[in-house]
Chain A
Amino acid sequence: MSENNLLIVDDEPNVISALKRVFIDDPYGVYSANSALEGMEILKGNRIKVIISDEKMPEITGSEFLSMVRRDYPDIIRIMLTGHASIEAAMKAINEGEIYRFFLKPWNELELRFAVRSAFEKYDLEGENKRLLSVIKKQATDLKLIEEQYPGITKVRHDKEGRIVLPTVPDEEMEQIVSKYEKNLE
């Protein structure tokens, strides 16, 4: 099983420790950072799936940080947790950071835990979808290349028992096809 790592970014240490307590019973690896820059460093070295970020922080704001995350690590699910209840902050977070959830301080513990849990689920689901898509794309490309070399070969024939009937291709010809095909892939 891949590890579920959560990153909390807030410039107030007591907020970070309070949030860590919220997730004490959940099977997550919890990382924390006091600033966006520190958060970026943690992202470089660890496989984080979900981020909870404050909005008002010195230097880089939460929505700026989350839009950077969106640009560099689009798969990470982003949640904003802010004491600053302005419509502008919410707009920036959704439009630039494409956040998954927006919460106000003081937070509701249950709501926050539930949101983080579904954020992890969303991460895993989207990862699975991406993997499937790349498999499908690769198969489609492979088939197309083979079909170009050998028209008709991708139409599978079955015998009575359901076994696949393959045309016989001389070894030399097969080698030729394979090497051409490998060149095409490069």
Chain B
Amino acid sequence: MIEDTILIVDDEENVISALKRIFMDDAINVLSAASALEGIELLKQNAVKLVISDEQMPGMSGSEFLSMIRQEYPHVVRIILTGHASIEAAMKAINDGEIYRFFIKPWNNYEIRTTVKAAIEKFNLEEELRQKEELIKHMAYHDTLTGLPNRLLLYDRLTKALEYSQRYSKMLSICFLDLDGFKTINDIFGHDTGDLLLKQVSERLKMSVRKSDTIARLGGDEFIIMLQDISDPEDAEITAGKIVNELAKSFVTGGQELSITVSVGVSLYPSDGTDIETLMKKADTAMYNAKKAGKNNFRLYCSDKEGQDV
């Protein structure tokens, strides 16, 4: 079970201990701080779901503190518990701190306890929703098997990368990868082994490129690698060569040793094209030339007609 953590901030020690006693029988982890600054430190280190703060404290006031929490941790539930407050402080707490409740001391134990428990329940429900939303977003932009970006995310990144390359006159490269003989492996060893191998291939690809490069899986045994911010066509050649060599090393998949190779086609911005469609098409053409040339190698797109149509 996940423990719910709350934070109480008050400069009076006896207030803190009295409040802590309210939650003695609950599965709630109660942290406490004597000032807003101390509270901020605790928020950094703990997954706090709710804050109860005094208003009048030396240094930062409660409403200022809660306004800050709203900015930094908007999902944390914010409650003011104050001995005496001005209408100005209350307005600041409501309008800037978007507080959930405003209580006056002396408080009613039952009211505090039920309010906090209800607020935590609400927090947990909303947190679950936020996580599911994240998951949905991730699933929309990633390949479920390998976790790599899918076509949608690749095109989004390509669009941005091309804008960047244009503005700063940089070179960009698209490598079109197609595994050689993957279908045979699927036919002989089955889909599960094939899937496992695709995962291993994606891991090996990750190790062959820079972190800033994008590896995407288009489906099947096709992958795209976008190399951004390169200074020389040779950089793309080096990477493509590295990929071919890395994948040619054997894999141990599900207890058996498997060999697979890859054919890579490379296109370059701006020399081969300036838009996504052209660059992808030319990388694809270059990949076919690599296949025709005997697979297990890479080819740069060559505008020379002879080179393309053999």
Give chain A's interface residues, CB within 8 Å of chain B.
85-87, 90-91, 93-95, 98-104, 115, 129, 132-133, 136, 157-162, 165
Contacts and interface: CB of A to CB of B under 8 A. Distances in A.
Interface string B92-113: 0011001111111000000000
Residue from the set B86, B102, B104, B194 with the largest chain A CB neighbour count within 10 Å: B102
B90 interface: yes
Contact of B95 (A91, A101, A165): A101
A91 B90 contact: yes
B182 interface: yes
A73 to B, nearest CB: 18
Given A86-B87, A90-B91, A160-B191, 9 more contacts: A87-B86, A87-B87, A90-B90, A90-B94, A103-B91, A132-B136, A133-B129, A160-B182, A160-B221
B116 to A, nearest CB: 13
Interface in B163-207: 182-183, 186, 191, 194-195
Interface in B38-76: none
A161 B220 contact: yes
B132 interface: yes
Contacts of B219: 161-162
B129 to A, nearest CB: 5
A102 B95 contact: yes
B145 interface: yes
B221 A91 contact: no
B87 A90 contact: yes
B94 A95 contact: no
Contact of B101 (A94, A100, A161, A165): A94
Interface of B: 85-87, 90-91, 94-95, 98-104, 129, 132-133, 136, 145, 182-183, 186, 191, 194-195, 219-221
Contacts of A160: 182-183, 186, 191, 194, 220-221
B91 A104 contact: yes
Nearest to A80: B94
Given A133-B129, A136-B129, A95 B87 contact: no
B108 to A, nearest CB: 12
A133 B104 CA distance: 35
12 contacts: A87-B104, A90-B90, A94-B94, A100-B98, A102-B90, A132-B129, A132-B133, A160-B182, A160-B186, A160-B194, A160-B221, A161-B219
Contacts of A165: 191
Interface centre among B87, B101, B104, B186 (most CB of A within 10 A): B87
A93 B219 CA distance: 55
Nearest to A93: B94
A100 B93 CA distance: 11
Given A94-B101, A160-B183, A161-B220, A102 B94 contact: yes
A140 to B, nearest CB: 9
Given A158-B195, A160-B194, A162-B220, A87 B90 contact: yes
Residue of A95, A157, A160 with highest tally of chain B CB at under 10 A: A160
Closest 4 CB pairs of A and B: A162-B219, A90-B90, A102-B94, A85-B87
B132 A136 contact: yes
